[in-house]
Structures are given as C-alpha cells and as structure tokens.
Amino acid sequence: LLLLCHAEETAVVVSGLRNTDVFVGESATFTCELSHPGVRNVQWWLDGTPLHNNLVTEISERDGRIHTLTLNDVACHDSGTVTFRAGSLISTAKLLVKGISL
C-alpha cells in the first residue's frame, strides 16, 4: 500500500491530451502518458460526464502508463472538453466535431 501511494505521488503526466478535430462519423482518439504505472482512480470525462467502456467509447491502458480513449462514430453534440484524471493528475483537451457540408 505504501508503494502504491508513493508511486501515485511521484507520477507525472509525460504527454498530455491534445486538442482534436474530427468530422461527424469519424473516431477521435486521446492519449495520456504517465511517468509511472500504478496510479489508481483513472477516469475519463466528456464535458463533466464520466465515460465508460462500451461500443462507442473504448478505454484502454498499456503498461499501466499509457491511457487511451477512443470515441467512435462521433456526432456534433460530442464536441466538448475531454478530461483524463488519474489520482491527482489531470489533463484536458478540446474535441471539435465538424459537420460535413454538402
């Protein structure tokens, strides 16, 4: 338990989320890399709403450090602020979903 708490305190965001622009119907992927694995209480949000793994929202983790969120088949109303939170660490980025003009 002591090790986990220590790891969480010393972990930092190595590479944060980046603003992403996509068209309606496309996928948007956000990645956040942490310096250490073992950070608990990882959560993704879109405009303050918690996101969960399902058909349109894919949440994955690699090596305990690289956290990825993919939003599939996005719509205009998905535009907003994506937030990644791991313990006390936070990274945010804007998602802009553009309509296709005919």
Q: Which two tokens stand for residue 13?
A: 């965001």
d(CA 81, CA 71): 13
Mean pLDDT of 71-89: 96
pTM of the predicted model, to two decimals?
0.87
Could you report how far apart the first and last alpha carbons of the chain are, in Å? 57
Q: Where are the domains of the chain?
A: 13-98
Q: Give me the residues paired with residue 57 across strands.
A: 71
Question: What was the pLDDT predicted at 57?
Answer: 97
Q: What is the pLDDT of residues 3-37, one digit of tens each?
A: 454 444 578 999 999 999 999 999 999 999 999 89
Q: How many whole angstroms separate alpha carbon 30 and alpha carbon 3?
A: 28
pLDDT computed for residue 100 by the predictor = 75
- Asked if pLDDT for residue 1 goes beyond 90, the answer is no
Partners of 28 in the β-ladder: 71
**Architecture label for domain 13-98:** Sandwich (2.60)
pLDDT more than 90, % of the chain: 79
Residue with tokens 């956290």: 67
